[in-house]
A and B are shown apart, each in its own frame.
Chain A
């Protein structure tokens, strides 16, 4: 007889065990913050579908599986050969089961342009900076997964671009879940800080090795100084057995810009939260997303754009192609607060159901408390354009190829937003392969 898994209890016990090993560090402000987050997680518990935010995404299957919370990280360059992104250059950091792998990683940008450190090391070298920003943006009061991540925050990356620096080389974070021998749970935590006028491109790429189940619970917090510019990409190509829950929280200061693009090629159960707060005026933010679930994959994108200050602009475009019995969710929340006059906020979500058994749930949520604003939203969910398909066929292109061509064109709107050429090409070929095979 097997006893039912109590994942929550297991996590709390793990936290307490870790705490006994801290040897004095437990008094540190950082750890106090973790402990606060654990208390919040204890109170919140895992969400059920009764929670409006989780209505279409049931985590029941996730929390009823046994996971190793401290999986080993022994992967060789050879093991990774099948996961390479061809022609990728720049700062490339590997994290195996959450842990930074210096021997596999390359950092090319000088530290005067950008400080790139494993999270734990940054906490030692720049304690005040980390204490100021860690947990200051991502909401762990209401979100159980963010609380859980905050409680366990230890692995991940710290990226800080000083005032006025434009980082030419991208920073690519490659998170590889090694599920070759057991079920693994990993909780990376990233902090990205941009000084005034700083500019950088950061990409997070997620892959899985092996046939066991993986669970990634990641939180990335980004704080954008005045006039800074962040390109942030999240690229997911995991196995059907991968659970992924992630929150990216971007805090904008005056006149800063962000371009956030999330592309999910594959994943078992995926929930991406992209939350933006306009903490100053004249902010410009672009949010793009693309998801291509097949089989029984479930991909859920939640976005939140909080126009807390006037004169800002946000533009959002999410697109999905859903195959087989897959399900998709798009929930786009836009707040325009009372003071946020002259806000321009646009949102659009377009979906193609490539199968009669696929389901897409879309929910735009606009809450507007200011009167002088321009806001629009629109969602469409339809079938493949049969007229276009016939047109291409009538030119001699076989139906399957014509369909793949149309899907690729549909996806290109989003893929082209990724300004790292190697990743863009890698995605184009991954999408071509995927739509061609189905």
Chain B
């Protein structure tokens, strides 16, 4: 489904991604961990199509198509969804208000008829229940005055609404209280249907107790320096990153 080969990206003079290789197959969940500033959000942003980064090498294929050629909205329509680490505030635009446009634009791209108001509302209700989010929150200006947890829950709600093929969750767990974490994780698990894939960026093993990954990768200094199964996350939780950093830095 997603095939990243030797991906390199920089911002200004600074190279941040230094050759990422990653393949995600349908239905798989990949966790990406790694120290602060190692490039996790950069990778997520590059996949979603943020323009600030210059791609200096490598390729990304999504369902056989060149992802790097596409505008962000095309990527969304092809089935990529990014739950932002820091969701932006948009005064005057409510979630309900833009999601309808978003959903129908995606449907248009896919050659489907727009969703009528009734079906849209039905879908809203269903997905609201999934992440336990309130209608009043969805009618307010997007993220304006939302608590940290509300912002994250809203991201997952949007993902549920848009039903992407690949969901990229960038630290969706940070800022969530214990109950919310469970609810959000269960929401994600409901979306796991054997076809839909996820890349889950997190600092905490706890999330991976709920969303059990098929693979765990450690990103450090712009490279995936270690990959393993869910046991790797447990090991990291226990030992921290120093031993990996030492291994890598020794090689350099």
A residues apposed to B, CB below 8 Å: 385-388, 390-399, 401-402, 405-406, 408-410, 412-413
The 3 closest A-B pairs by CB, nearest first: A409-B92, A396-B76, A393-B72
Selected interface stretch from B56-64, B100-108, B194-202: B100-108
Partner of A401, one of B76, B99, B101: B101
Contacts of A387 in B (CB 8 A): 88
In the complex, whether B188 has a CB less than 8 A from a CB of chain A is no
Contacts of B99 in A (CB 8 A): 395
In the complex, whether B90 has a CB less than 8 A from a CB of chain A is yes
Contacts of B244 in A (CB 8 A): none
A interface footprint on B69-90 (CB within 8 Å = 1, 0 otherwise): 0011101110001101001111
Partner of B90, one of A386, A394, A409: A409
- With A391-B87, A401-B105, A405-B98 as known contacts, state yes or no: A396 contacts B73, CB within 8 Å: yes
Most buried by B among A393, A395, A396, A410: A396
Min C-beta distance of B63 to chain A, whole Å:
16
Contacts of A392 in B (CB 8 A): 90, 93, 98, 102
Q: How far is the CA of A392 from the CA of B82 in the complex (A)?
A: 11
Residue of A nearest to B99 (CB): A395
Most buried by B among A390, A395, A401, A406: A395
Most buried by A among B76, B77, B90, B158: B90
Partner of A398, one of B73, B87, B90: B73
**Other 13 A-B pairs with CB < 8 A, given A391-B87, A394-B75, A396-B77:** A390-B72, A391-B90, A392-B93, A392-B98, A393-B73, A393-B76, A395-B76, A395-B99, A395-B102, A396-B109, A401-B105, A412-B92, A413-B92
Selected interface stretch from B8-16, B47-55, B117-125: B47-55
Min C-beta distance of B138 to chain A, whole Å:
14
Q: How far is the CA of A391 from the CA of B89 in the complex (A)?
A: 10
Q: How far is the CA of A398 from the CA of B88 in the complex (A)?
A: 18
Contacts of B89 in A (CB 8 A): 388
- Enumerate 5 A-B pairs (CB-CB under 8 Å) in ascending A order: A390-B49, A390-B72, A395-B158, A406-B90, A406-B93
In the complex, whether B162 has a CB less than 8 A from a CB of chain A is yes
Min C-beta distance of B249 to chain A, whole Å:
34
In the complex, whether B91 has a CB less than 8 A from a CB of chain A is yes
- Quick check: B51 and A390 within 8 Å, CB to CB? yes
Partner of A396, one of B51, B84, B88, B102: B102
- With A395-B162, A399-B73 as known contacts, state yes or no: A388 contacts B90, CB within 8 Å: yes
- With A396-B77, A397-B101, A401-B105 as known contacts, state yes or no: A390 contacts B93, CB within 8 Å: no
- Quick check: B162 and A396 within 8 Å, CB to CB? yes
Contacts of A397 in B (CB 8 A): 73, 98, 101-102, 105
- Quick check: B92 and A396 within 8 Å, CB to CB? no
Q: How far is the CA of A399 from the CA of B102 in the complex (A)?
A: 11
Contacts of B93 in A (CB 8 A): 388, 392, 405-406, 409
Min C-beta distance of A33 to chain B, whole Å:
46
Q: How far is the CA of A388 from the CA of B93 in the complex (A)?
A: 10
Contacts of A386 in B (CB 8 A): 51
- Quick check: A398 and B105 within 8 Å, CB to CB? yes
Residue of A nearest to B95 (CB): A395
Q: How far is the CA of A412 from the CA of B82 in the complex (A)?
A: 28
Partner of A393, one of B71, B90, B162: B71
Residue of B nearest to A409 (CB): B92
Contacts of B105 in A (CB 8 A): 396-398, 401
Q: How far is the CA of A30 from the CA of B107 in the complex (A)?
A: 67
Contacts of A413 in B (CB 8 A): 91-92
Contacts of B71 in A (CB 8 A): 393, 398-399
Name the interface residues of B190-225: CB closer than 8 Å to any CB of A. none
Min C-beta distance of B60 to chain A, whole Å:
15
Min C-beta distance of B128 to chain A, whole Å:
17
Q: How far is the CA of A386 from the CA of B48 in the complex (A)?
A: 14
Contacts of A398 in B (CB 8 A): 71, 73, 105
Q: How far is the CA of A6 from the CA of B16 in the complex (A)?
A: 67
Contacts of A388 in B (CB 8 A): 88-90, 93
Q: How far is the CA of A394 from the CA of B50 in the complex (A)?
A: 9
Q: How far is the CA of A392 from the CA of B73 in the complex (A)?
A: 8
Q: How far is the CA of A393 from the CA of B49 in the complex (A)?
A: 9
Contacts of B50 in A (CB 8 A): 390
Most buried by A among B50, B81, B102: B102
Min C-beta distance of A321 to chain B, whole Å:
13
Residue of B nearest to A416 (CB): B92
Residue of B nearest to A388 (CB): B90
Residue of A nearest to B48 (CB): A394
Partner of B84, one of A385, A391, A406: A391
Contacts of A391 in B (CB 8 A): 84, 87-88, 90
Min C-beta distance of B143 to chain A, whole Å:
9
- Quick check: B72 and A394 within 8 Å, CB to CB? yes
Contacts of A393 in B (CB 8 A): 49, 71-73, 76
Q: How far is the CA of A90 from the CA of B177 in the complex (A)?
A: 54
Q: How far is the CA of A393 from the CA of B109 in the complex (A)?
A: 13
Min C-beta distance of A385 to chain B, whole Å:
8
Q: How far is the CA of A410 from the CA of B87 in the complex (A)?
A: 19
Most buried by A among B49, B72, B91, B102: B72
Residue of A nearest to B158 (CB): A395
Min C-beta distance of A428 to chain B, whole Å:
12
